[in-house]
């Protein structure tokens, strides 16, 4: 890896670490507020990444770094999880569904905050719209070498990566968060039947295989639409 690729890869990793920590803290906080203190006692109701790393060291550190090195900073793979009490979830289907939704909601919050920072910076003349965008260069500093230049790439990655985490985790496939949302709209009996089916171990592997297959066609139009909301009056044509 060149020095530039190394710096870009480490930026992706730091953003991933923070975004995943907030995602899992969202799950943990929602569960704690609704009666399940399991993750709270494990330290996961925290923006400190260490309790989350301690629970999933391979998914949060080793896998992301290995994937970045192998791809020369072009690809990142990682994961994490927050513990919960399955007996609590079985008794409170809708609360468990809200807990599941809290993780992607945290990623959506980061999308909105980073997007707002880019739009405000553009309105104030701090950032400019690039002639061409990439997922890690959605904005540019108006003045090269300025403080804004140091924030342009991290803000771009925050925006892109958290849209990715938001969309991917909402896919209605086990073991992703989206698969836990239907009980919000089902009767208790129907929710029990659905969750009994969902908890078959082999479904997690099948779900992940399907998710990887269908994700790109779903994600591409979403991220392109989102990028085109960053700059009033500016539209990017994606081939």
- pLDDT digits 0-9 by tens, 205-217: 999 999 999 999 9
Give residue 176's region: left, alpha or beta (phi > 0; psi -120 to 50).
Answer: beta
Q: Nearest-CA neighbor of 137 among 150, 119, 112, 155?
A: 155
Cα–Cα distance for residue pair 119/105, rounded to 1 Å: 21
Per-residue pLDDT band for 1 (boundaries 50, 70, 90) equals: confident
Per-residue model confidence as pLDDT tens digits over 116-166: 999 999 999 999 999 999 999 999 999 999 999 999 999 999 999 999 999
pLDDT at residue 92, as a whole number? 95
Residue 239 confidence (pLDDT) above 90: no
What average pLDDT does this structure show over 40-53? 97
Is the alpha carbon torsion for 212, 216, 217, 222 positive or negative? positive
Per-residue pLDDT band for 111 (boundaries 50, 70, 90) equals: very high
pTM as predicted: 0.96
What average pLDDT does this structure show over 174-203? 92
Give residue 238's region: left, alpha or beta (phi > 0; psi -120 to 50).
Answer: beta
pLDDT at residue 74, as a whole number? 84
């Amino acid at each position: 890896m060149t020095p530039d690729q190394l710096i870009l890869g480490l930026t992706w990793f730091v953003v991933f670490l923070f975004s995943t920590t907030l995602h899992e803290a969202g799950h943990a906080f929602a569960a704690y507020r609704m009666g399940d203190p399991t993750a709270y006692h494990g330290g996961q109701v925290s923006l400190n990444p260490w309790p989350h790393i301690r629970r999933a060291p391979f998914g949060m550190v080793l896998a992301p770094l290995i994937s970045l090195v192998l791809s020369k900073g072009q690809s990142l793979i990682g994961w994490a999880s927050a513990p919960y009490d399955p007996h609590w979830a079985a008794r409170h289907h809708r609360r468990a569904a809200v807990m599941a939704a809290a993780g992607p909601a945290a990623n959506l919050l980061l999308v909105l905050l980073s997007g707002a920072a880019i739009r405000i910076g553009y309105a104030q003349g701090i950032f400019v719209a690039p002639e061409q965008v990439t997922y890690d260069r959605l904005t540019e500093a108006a003045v090269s070498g300025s403080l804004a230049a140091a924030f342009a790439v991290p803000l771009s990655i925050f925006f892109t990566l958290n849209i990715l985490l938001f969309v991917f985790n909402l896919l209605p496939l086990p073991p992703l968060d989206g698969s836990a949302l239907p009980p919000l709209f089902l009767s208790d009996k129907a929710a029990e039947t659905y969750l009994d089916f969902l908890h078959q171990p082999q479904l997690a592997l099948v779900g992940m295989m399907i998710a990887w297959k269908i994700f790109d066609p779903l994600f591409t139009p979403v991220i392109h639409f989102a990028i085109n909301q960053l700059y009033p009056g500016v539209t990017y044509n994606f081939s």
